Amino acid sequence: MNDRSRLFADLAAFVDDAVRLEGEDERTSEDISRKLDVLQRVVELLRLRDGVMENRLPMRDLLTSGIDVSRWASGALRLSVGVGPTCDKDSGRPAPGGRTQGELQVPLIRYLLRGYWAPRRINDLLIEFVGEIRPWLSTDDVESTRTGVMRVMTTTRSAARSLRLHGLLTNSARTAYKTWELSVLGLLAGAVLHERAGPKPEIESRALPRMTSGPFGGDTFLAQPVADVLGLLRDPREVSAALQRICVPDRDVFPTFDQAVKIMVSFTRGLESQRDGRPQEPHERRAVAQAMMEALRVAVPPAALARDLATHFAFEELLG
């Protein structure tokens, strides 16, 4: 067991010892989660009482100051800070430092692609998504910001905003501020990403986005893998081939199939031209993306495309 694993085990033991729950004689695997919920609410109550509404202790300082879990003479566990061995805050973690919004775009697209048929509120999506990518996060990612929100959740929202600005997530009265839903372009891009990556891990390395203006998602640029897929979709032959692979069951119900190809090619070529000229303002990008999505919604019904994608992936899985 390395130093980090030992620290986590000691902290879990401390929480387990410090909090007692009703009916604890019948212990379950959910006990530690419930106890963490209790501790968090207790902290919130004390912050309200004392007017201390932000955490002013950086995670880096906590871990490097030394944490130790030991026992009082009575046998109860105690937590001491500043007296134990220091801990390299990212030792054994695959992602030193916090993830950027660009690094979360591909896993977010793939996550939404798998869950297309189960739309849920954004907060529920956030919690499940962060749980899925937990092995690739560092202590910086789970540190609370000054607003009390876990940093990775703020970064994930930034990733979703970037995808929406580039037409990969829908932006309608039905979905705005309620859920995240892939657009037709997002579904197609997700299918291509899935075909390219296969069963690879959601986040492999510190693959940086094409451009970045902030460490934790302060920009709205596309990650390189996503930009590469949209670059591929500038070619009408690639768009047509991708749609043909996916839409075999419904090919005949898309009388405007060729029009859908033209719409996507026109939009992706427009994105590329903006990289060479004056960058569009966010509101300009949003307007162009919205027009593209409205036109595509008529040409290719999103639900039909999603259904065909589900069939396509299921058939792939059967073939191994």
Average pLDDT over residues 8-26: 82
Copy the structure tokens of residue 311: 């069939």
Provide the CB-side half-sphere exposure for 259 (13 A, CA): 13
Phi (first) and psi of residue 209, to 5 degrees: -70, 170
What is the pLDDT, as a whole number, of residue 319?
A: 46
Q: Do residues 184 and 305 lie in contact, with contact meaning Cβ atoms separated by under 8 Å?
A: yes
CA dihedral 211, 216, 217, 222 (to 10 degrees): 40
Q: 162 to each of 31, 101, 168, how far by Cα in Å?
A: 38, 8, 9
Separation of alpha carbons 294 and 169, rounded Å: 12
Which pLDDT does position 215 carry in this prediction? 44
Report pLDDT for 279.
Answer: 63
Res. 155 pLDDT band, cuts 50 70 90: very high
pLDDT value of position 126: 93
Report the mean per-residue pLDDT for the chain: 80
The answer to whether the CB of 210 falls within 8 A of the CB of 224 is yes
Nearest 5°: the CA angle 66, 71, 75 is: 165
* Structure confidence at residue 244 (pLDDT): 79
Whether 210 has a pLDDT exceeding 70, the answer reads no
Rounded Cα gap, residues 247 and 305, in angstroms: 7
Residue 72 phi/psi, 5-degree rounding, is: -70, 170
Non-local (6+) Cβ contacts of 303 within 8 A are: none
> How far apart are the C-alpha atoms of 255 and 251, rounded to whole Å?
8
Written as six digits, the tokens of 235 are: 């070619």
**E-strand stretches of the chain:** 67-71, 77-81
State CA 156 to chain mean position distance. 5
Domain boundaries, the chain: 3-81, 101-319
Rg of the chain over Cα atoms, rounded to whole angstroms, equals 23
Mean pLDDT of 7-22: 86
| For range 265-293, the mean pLDDT | 79
Mean pLDDT for the stretch of residues 199-203: 66
**What six digits make up the tokens of 224?**
């390189």
pLDDT tens digits for 46-84? 988 988 888 888 888 888 888 888 888 888 888 888 877
The answer to which of 171-185, 216-230, 305-319 has the lowest mean pLDDT is 305-319
d(CA 81, CA 67): 5
In the numeric block, the tokens 């990556």 are attached to: 197
Q: What is the pLDDT of residue 79?
A: 87
pLDDT band at 208 (very low <50, low <70, confident <90, very high): very low
Distance of alpha carbon 244 from alpha carbon 252, whole angstroms:
11
DSSP string, 127-183: HHHHHHTGGG--HHHHSB-TTSSBHHHHHHHHHHHHHHHTTSB--STTTTTT---B-
